Structure 1
Amino acid sequence: MIISMHIGAHATYGAQLMRGLLKNKTVLAEQGVAIPAPTHYRDLLPKVMKKVTSSRATPDTQEMLLDQMLDMDDCNRMILSYEDVICMNPRIFEKTEFYSKVNFKLPWLRNVFADYPMEFFIGMRNPATFIPETFGNCGPNISYSEFLNGMDVEAIRWSELLGRIRQACPDVGITCFAFEDTPITWAQIMREMAGVGPMVPLSGGLDILATIMKREGMKRLRTYLHTHQPQNEMQRRKILQAFLDKYVDEAALEEEIDLPGWDADLVDRLTEAYEEDLLRIEAMEDVHFIAP
């Protein structure tokens, strides 16, 4: 059994990804894919992780955990999602490092399922919007300076984080995607996490697109897809992009940023560095990037 786990990052549609997959729970079960309810493991998993910090979980421990998580007798893949598995929002920049807990938390996680192959799925986001969004989710008791903990926002590189994930868990496959691409890539992300091909009918592939497209455009798009079935994923994406270009809801794309010391020049620099970083990630040989 393969374990596909969405490990974050925060503010990259983690909850929506799980909801989308759960919509298809029955269809995926027919393909041997299990999707345990998050309530079955989000309290239990951290407790088990703390017990296997320096050694692999015993077969009995693994079996006990799986018995509590799974409601299928036989499956070839299990999908999990827990964006706080590395850390909570306020600790993203702990020790003045971007997700510093990756270095030891993910090996603990790997120890929990030591006898099973694993795949990590991680969403990435432009720091220019990632930082305001994640700081906004920290609550009123954390100041902006406490949140950053001395971190230079212009030094944030997802490629560096992916390199540390690879070093921490060298035998785990890594698939990543950009938050900004999800209106177009969402269906592919769902399929790759579930390990199913294009012939398996999945619903919810347009969920993210619907949040930034005018209602009229979505109605026309659904009709078009019904009467003009795409022959492959690339053709499908071209259709989605064409409709998005014509019917995009500009108001839905607007994001107001109000953080100390931030201005338009900083946002531009962060965005440019992020786009360069995505090109670097796309060229990484040991990481699979779902490109638009």
Structure 2
Amino acid sequence: MSDAKEIEKPRVTLHIGVHFTADGYLQRSVSANRARLKAHGVHVPAKRHTWGVISKMLEGLDGLPPIVEEEDEVRRALLGNSGAQHLFLADDRWAAPLRDAVDGETLYPGIGARVAAVAELFSASELQISMALINPAIFMSNSFASGTAPRLLSTFVDQVAPSSLRWRDTVDALRKAVPNVPLLIWAEEDAPLIWPTVMQRLFHLPPEVPVSGRILPLKPLLVEEGFERLKTYLISHPPETTAQYEKVILAFMDKYGREEALAPRCDIPGWDAEAIDVLTAHYEEDLDALAQEEGITLLQPVT
């Protein structure tokens, strides 16, 4: 068994966003499972350090593919003295800074070239790319609320018809750029139900290994009393199956959910309620279509 571990190919998960998904709770989940990840040979370097190492190498390459020694240099710099073999790297800027995500006619128009350049640095590893999607209406509303690049956002809304704004186009561009890299996707709206599964797949943990922080996505969605009651309930009545777990979560969301969090208001200047409905309907269609595509794993609730 030990020999098998020694020759195991190093794994790298590159989580690329998108913006306004896993907001805060992904990092808290990493912190909650740090000891468990270390025990399974997974290292999560600091975000600033990771960005610096990769940006410096890409700048030095100036568009050229890396040689083996340069790939090794990146791995050594990211692993440091951790003693680990595998890496989990997360930064939504790899898909694009938010201002560049709305500078074109599709969301994240440059995602293919940006992610492919980073992916090339890990060609000797078993690479997985992951991303969470979110209702484009919520994405656009949050973008305006963020105060980032208001002029670009206004131009984007003026030039792009709601009916043509599809995540499928963004994902297709990514897949064409890195066709041989498996892609793991989930919907932000499903995260409260499936977060334990998402963490296991992101960190490559065996299904039987329990994870900590499984209800972190629910903290902003439930009133404080409900969140505390949920923690107590799951300890005293541990669900035996994934379906049972999801039913418990749904019941608590129904009883203790914050209405403004579960059904956030969409305020997109220039787009009316009908446009929001079109965006939402197409989002659901896109998720269904992506679930059927080869090379893509879409994590969904079982209930």
Fold match by TM threshold 0.5: yes
Could you tell me how far 1:250 is from its partner in structure 2? 1.3
- Residue 100 and residue 53 in structure 1: after superposition, are their counterparts in 2 closer, same or farther (change >3 A)? farther
- Identify the match of residue 206 of structure 1 among 196, 211, 215: 215
Do the aligned residues in 1 keep the contact of 2:112 with 2:175 (CA within 8 Å)?
no
- Residue 88 and residue 280 in structure 1: after superposition, are their counterparts in 2 closer, same or farther (change >3 A)? same
Could you tell me how far 1:70 is from its partner in structure 2? 1.4
Other-structure match for 1:261: 270
Instruction: State the superposition RMSD in angstroms.
Output: 2.1
Other-structure match for 1:66: 75
Other-structure match for 1:17: 26
Other-structure match for 2:104: 95
SS in structure 1 opposite 2:129?
strand
SS in structure 2 opposite 1:175?
strand
Identity rate of aligned residues, in percent? 27
Indicate yes or no: 2:85 matched with 1:85: no
The number of aligned residues is 292
The residue identity in structure 2 corresponding to 1:161 is T
Q: TM-score, normalised by structure 2?
A: 0.88
Do the aligned residues in 2 keep the contact of 1:56 with 1:114 (CA within 8 Å)?
no
Could you tell me how far 1:260 is from its partner in structure 2? 2.2
The residue identity in structure 1 corresponding to 2:206 is G
- Identify the match of residue 173 of structure 2 among 158, 164, 171: 164
Other-structure match for 1:3: 12
- Residue 218 and residue 165 in structure 1: after superposition, are their counterparts in 2 closer, same or farther (change >3 A)? same
> Residue deviations 1:242-266, cap 9 Å, x none?
2222222213334333332222221
Other-structure match for 1:142: 151
Unmatched 5+ stretches in structure 1: none
Could you tell me how far 1:286 is from its partner in structure 2? 2.0
Deviates more, 1:236-245 or 1:28-37: 236-245
Do the aligned residues in 1 keep the contact of 2:99 with 2:149 (CA within 8 Å)?
no
> Residue deviations 1:95-114, cap 9 Å, x none?
32321212311221121112
Distance 1:71 1:234 in 2: 40
Distance 2:59 2:117 in 1: 7
Distance 2:24 2:74 in 1: 22
The residue identity in structure 2 corresponding to 1:164 is A
Q: TM-score, normalised by structure 1?
A: 0.91
Do the aligned residues in 2 keep the contact of 1:53 with 1:111 (CA within 8 Å)?
no
Do the aligned residues in 2 keep the contact of 1:92 with 1:99 (CA within 8 Å)?
yes
Could you tell me how far 1:74 is from its partner in structure 2? 3.9
Unmatched 5+ stretches in structure 2: 1-9
Do the aligned residues in 2 keep the contact of 1:94 with 1:149 (CA within 8 Å)?
no
